[in-house]
Structure 1
């Protein structure tokens, strides 16, 4: 059952990721009043109206809407828009979707999406605007930077470090104590057994650098 009402919140984005975010926010007890999107065509997203482009955010803040959530899938864009929201004075709550299990010792930044069924274990640090997607697992003492995305079903073993804006795609496995640099993409189903540098695409079993970004 949803928690007690937490207040009004606006969601930035109106795509597939935003649909899941809206459902999770509602479950957590938020009243999602609308979405903004680059395409302002009147429509709904998960039953929530698209109320304009991001140009509407300043007006919404001045009208007393205090909370916002950036539901954009692209890591760099999510980080940039999240920073804009902070500059406008919005609070950026994080949430846990239904069935997520998060240790009380985990340190969670602003605007973090923890999707249904995710598991985050003891003494892990999650940076601002990160996404821990459906049924993903982050084991003990992990460190995930700003705007990281751990894809559905991915599993990070203990003491894994992931740099800012990196994407660990669906079904990846990372063995303990590996380090993945910033702005790196690890392709779906890959197995990371060695450290990966920043700014590369890597995939395979074992994951190997394929090219620089």
Structure 2
């Protein structure tokens, strides 16, 4: 029997998460929770309302939620509130992803199609591993971090909380990327990246904030 669930968020990322959930099976997604105009829908499912309906849905027995927000900090904050309310926040893993049996995956993690998780990779709560990304052995991906499509992280890489690794970036073995850092698309990261830094290029170098 399918478990009833909701998706919190109704942007572009939520569409992909819905398709991951449908591919997994086991959940009946009732709709989305997000501020929206009356009658709004996403991929044929209704936007049920804003955050104000969350207590009522929980009281009605809808106990499972998937947080589908691309902003790392917002995703972490909203997921924390849902967990305190009593919602279950399972991981969503596309069946085409290659996941080592020794990988450890936290609550609310999303692993997209054709991603690969290597031996003893650790994904903390609410991280996103996007389409086709490679997370090699002994990687540690921090809470609410996002590894974008087509990235390649070699062995023993550490990615801090809420960090963003841009599309197609490559990270050499043993690199440490600090919390809230941003790695530009297509970058080659060959040195550690400090917390909050923005880097880009090949090799990646610090970029000025606009």
Considering the TM-score relative to the shorter chain, is it more than 0.5?
Answer: yes
Q: For 2:116 and 2:96, how far apart are their aligned partners in 1? A: 9
Residues 37-186 of structure 1: pairs in structure 2 closer than 5 A: 37-186=34-183
Output the CA distance in 2 between the equivalents of 1:38 and 1:187: 30
Give the paired residue count: 209
Counterpart CA distance in 1 for 2:186 and 2:59 is 45
What CA distance in whole angstroms lies between the structure 1 residues aligned with 2:184 and 2:174?
Answer: 19
Match of 1:193 among 187, 190, 194: 190
Q: d(CA) in 1 for partners of 2:186 and 2:209?
A: 19
Quote the Cα distance in structure 2 between the aligned partners of 1:212 and 1:200. Answer: 9
Which stretches in structure 2 are left out of the alignment for 5+ residues?
none
CA contact (8 A) 2:165 2:185 kept: yes
Q: Distance in 2 between matches of 1:140 and 1:41?
A: 47
Q: Deviations over 1:143-163 (max 9, x none)?
A: 011000000001100000000
Superposition TM-score, scaled by structure 1 size: 0.95
Superposition TM-score, scaled by structure 2 size: 0.97
Aligned residue in 2 for 1:7? 3
- Partner Cα distance (1:153, 1:80) in 2: 27
SS of 2:48 mapped into structure 1: coil
Shift of 1:40: 4.4
**Bigger Cα displacement from structure 2, 156-165 vs 20-29:** 20-29
Partner SS, residue 206 of structure 1: coil
Deviations 1:22-72 (A, max 9, x none): 011011111101101122432211221100011111110111101001000
Which secondary structure state, in structure 2, belongs to the residue aligned with residue 26 of structure 1? helix
In 2, Cα distance between equivalents of 1:41 and 1:175: 48
